[in-house]
């Protein structure tokens, strides 16, 4: 049977850069196995040491998760599409709550919301519901920017925003709620100014805080809907669990490069049959296996599209609309301009929303995601060198070869003189190009990918001495040569 496997962009660098593969296989397991035997690095990402498919790697045949079919034994037939969907660093109506006493609209508000009021799907009652509603936005970054602006413009009566970041120039490529004049300001202040300019009729509550297990339930209780615009796994699980425990819908969005995901995780919806984020991804991705947007980049317009989808779903939940993204995972590829949709199901074994939950209060999410220092599975046995020390040793004539494991387009932006470029995805296959009799320093942008490259080389049996440049080319620019641009 000839089956097409779609590779997500986060894993393409380990699959020769390809987005699709044709394989001959009778089952889903055979198909993934065939693909990964061709690419050793990809195999390491998909399978654990016992040759079992890693639990955070979800495989879909057409639009169905194989976990809800026969797992790896799920049969495939000619023309089927198999998708590998890794987690990426995202019903009932509110009728009962708001029907009792809806606020009235002033003439000014009636004029402002005219295009809503003349739609039967919204109408006067719907607009009053929007005014009576409250939404808490976690983060005012790429997703939070369009999200907040559309929710404010739509007349959602009370908007809460949580953020602790400060606006930086590299945010402005996509975080359109902030402007050049805001560089250096707290994001919540800049967001509040923009939102109240869009709509002075709404209430904006700013919380300059990091969302934690200690404050999440307290914050969530004061809002009808939670919208997750964060970019890291601990916060995603925290938002999910706090939403399940408080019964609130979690309007989810996530982005990476040019791919996005959106869904509404709402365990209480549809008589308790709604899936939560843990039903989809029971276990977090180990640190480092999936790059973040800071490492992998993101097309500026992508969070605009995904954030607008989240705003759309939040508004529909408030209006009690049919067709919200409950039990549906929307996948968007901005480069191919394709939307796909996968079915989600509540997992009866889910530790928080299943039949016998084992998680009944918020936990330590940094530890759960393997990010606490004492929880790291294997502390990397990594030899490191600082940029200053490397420069000193090169100047004193030490024989050191430097391997740059970034991508060619990054090499175009900035480079350390005298380095050899071998991108991370190729280091193992091009290992022969590295002279193992010489001392080797690997570097990337900030030191994370080069550590992975060293790990991959060691696992592949590279016999020479490998040292990681701490802080990568960014540290080189800071410590040694300021003329090397930082990006
Ligand atoms: Zn669940």
Query: In what helix (H) or strand (E) does residue 189 lie, and over which residues does it extend?
Result: helix 187-198
Q: Which residue has the tokens 């969070």?
A: 303
Bridge partners of residue 160, in order along the sequence: 136, 205
In terms of pLDDT, which residue wins out, 149 or 65? 149
Residue tagged active-site, from 276, 293, 350, 442: 293
- Is domain 95-375 given the CATH code 3.40.50.720 in the classification? yes
76: pLDDT strictly greater than 80:
yes
Cα 346 to middle of ligand 1, angstroms: 6
- The mean pLDDT value for 239-247 works out to 96
Quick: pLDDT tens for 327-370: 999 999 999 999 999 999 999 999 999 999 999 999 999 888 88
- Pairing outcome for strands 384-385 and 466-469: parallel
Cα 292 to middle of ligand 1, angstroms: 24
Residue 298 is given by DSSP the state B
Quick: pLDDT tens for 289-310: 666 666 678 999 999 999 999 9
DSSP per-residue codes, 239-288: HHHHHHHHT--EEEEEEEBTEEEEEEE-TTHHHHT---HHHH-SSPPPTT
Cα 48 to middle of ligand 1, angstroms: 24
Tokens representing residue 431 in the block: 């290992």
9, exposed or middle or buried, with CB in 10 Å at 0-12, 13-18, 19+? middle
Domain with CATH 3.40.250.10 in the chain: 384-479
Domain with CATH 3.40.50.720 in the chain: 95-375
Tokens representing residue 337 in the block: 């301009």
The CATH code of domain 2-86 reads: 3.10.20.30
What is the distance between the alpha carbons of residues 20 and 257, in angstroms, rounded to a whole number?
17
Contact 128, 102 (CB under 8 A): yes
Catalytic status, residue 293: yes
Domain with CATH 3.10.20.30 in the chain: 2-86
Of the options 3.40.47.10, 3.40.640.10, 3.40.250.10, 3.30.70.360, the CATH number for the domain spanning 384-479 = 3.40.250.10
Cα 479 to middle of ligand 1, angstroms: 47
Cα 180 to middle of ligand 1, angstroms: 41
Cα 349 to middle of ligand 1, angstroms: 8
User: What pLDDT was estimated at residue 293?
Assistant: 64
Angle at 91 between CA 89 and CA 95, to 5 degrees: 120
95: pLDDT strictly greater than 60:
no
Residue 159 is given by DSSP the state E
Cα 67 to middle of ligand 1, angstroms: 14
How many residues belong to the chain? 487
What is the distance between the alpha carbons of residues 10 and 146, in angstroms, rounded to a whole number?
24
DSSP per-residue codes, 315-337: HHHHHT-S--SBTEEEEEETTTT
Contact 476, 469 (CB under 8 A): yes
Cα 185 to middle of ligand 1, angstroms: 38
459: pLDDT strictly greater than 50:
yes
In terms of pLDDT, which residue wins out, 286 or 333? 333
Quick: pLDDT tens for 14-33: 888 888 888 899 999 898 88
SS3 347: coil
Angle at 210 between CA 233 and CA 240, to 5 degrees: 40
58: pLDDT strictly greater than 90:
no
Cα 277 to middle of ligand 1, angstroms: 6
Cα 453 to middle of ligand 1, angstroms: 35
Residue tagged active-site, from 276, 350, 369, 444: 444
| Closest C-alpha among 56, 19, 55, 54 to residue 35 | 19
Catalytic status, residue 444: yes
| Closest C-alpha among 82, 88, 87 to residue 34 | 82
Looking at the whole model, is its pTM more than 0.95?
no
User: What pLDDT was estimated at residue 373?
Assistant: 56
What is the distance between the alpha carbons of residues 479 and 279, in angstroms, rounded to a whole number?
46
């Amino acid at each position: 049977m000839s089956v097409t496997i779609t590779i997500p962009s986060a894993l393409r660098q380990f699959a020769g850069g390809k987005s699709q593969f044709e394989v001959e296989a009778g089952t889903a397991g055979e198909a993934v196995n065939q693909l990964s035997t061709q690419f050793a690095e990809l195999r390491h990402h998909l399978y654990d040491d016992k040759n079992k498919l890693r639990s955070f790697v979800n495989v879909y045949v057409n639009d169905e998760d194989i976990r809800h079919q026969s797992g790896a034994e799920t049969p495939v037939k000619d023309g089927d599409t198999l998708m590998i969907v890794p987690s990426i660093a995202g019903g009932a109506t509110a009728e009962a709550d708001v029907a009792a006493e809806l606020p009235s609209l002033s003439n000014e508000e009636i004029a402002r919301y005219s295009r809503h009021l003349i739609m039967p799907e919204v109408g006067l009652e719907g607009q009053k519901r929007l005014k009576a509603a409250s939404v808490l936005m976690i983060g005012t970054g790429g997703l939070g920017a369009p999200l907040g602006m559309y929710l404010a413009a739509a007349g959602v009566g009370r908007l809460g925003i949580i953020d602790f970041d400060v606006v930086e120039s590299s945010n402005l490529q996509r975080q359109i709620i902030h402007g050049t004049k805001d560089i250096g300001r707290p994001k919540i202040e800049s967001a509040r100014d923009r939102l109240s300019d869009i709509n002075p009729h709404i209430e904006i509550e700013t919380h300059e805080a990091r969302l934690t297990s200690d404050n999440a339930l307290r914050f969530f209780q004061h809002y009808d809907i939670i919208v997750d615009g964060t970019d890291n796994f601990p916060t995603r699980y925290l938002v999910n669990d706090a939403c399940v425990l408080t019964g609130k819908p979690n309007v989810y969005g996530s982005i990476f490069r040019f791919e996005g995901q959106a869904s509404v995780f709402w365990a209480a919806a549809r008589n308790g049959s709604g899936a939560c984020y843990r039903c989809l991804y029971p276990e977090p991705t180990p640190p480092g296996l999936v790059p973040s947007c800071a490492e992998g980049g993101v097309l500026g317009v992508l969070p605009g599209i995904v954030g607008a989808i989240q705003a759309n779903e939040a508004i529909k939940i408030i209006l009690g609309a049919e067709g919200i993204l409950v039990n549906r995972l929307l996948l968007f590829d901005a480069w191919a301009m394709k939307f796909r949709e996968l079915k989600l199901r509540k997992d009866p074994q889910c530790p928080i929303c299943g039949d016998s939950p084992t998680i009944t209060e918020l936990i330590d999410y940094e530890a759960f995601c393997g990010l606490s220092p004492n929880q790291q599975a294997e502390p990397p046995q990594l030899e490191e060198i600082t940029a200053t020390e490397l420069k000193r040793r090169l100047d004193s004539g030490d024989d050191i070869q430097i391997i740059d494991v970034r991508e060619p387009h990054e090499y175009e932006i900035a480079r350390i003189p005298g380095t050899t470029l071998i991108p991370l995805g190729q280091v193992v296959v091009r290992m022969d190009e590295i002279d193992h009799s010489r001392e080797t320093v690997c570097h990337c942008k900030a030191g994370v990918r080069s550590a992975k490259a060293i790990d991959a080389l060691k696992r592949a049996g590279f016999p020479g001495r490998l040292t990681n440049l701490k802080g990568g080319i960014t540290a080189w620019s800071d410590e040694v040569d300021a003329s090397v641009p930082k990006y």
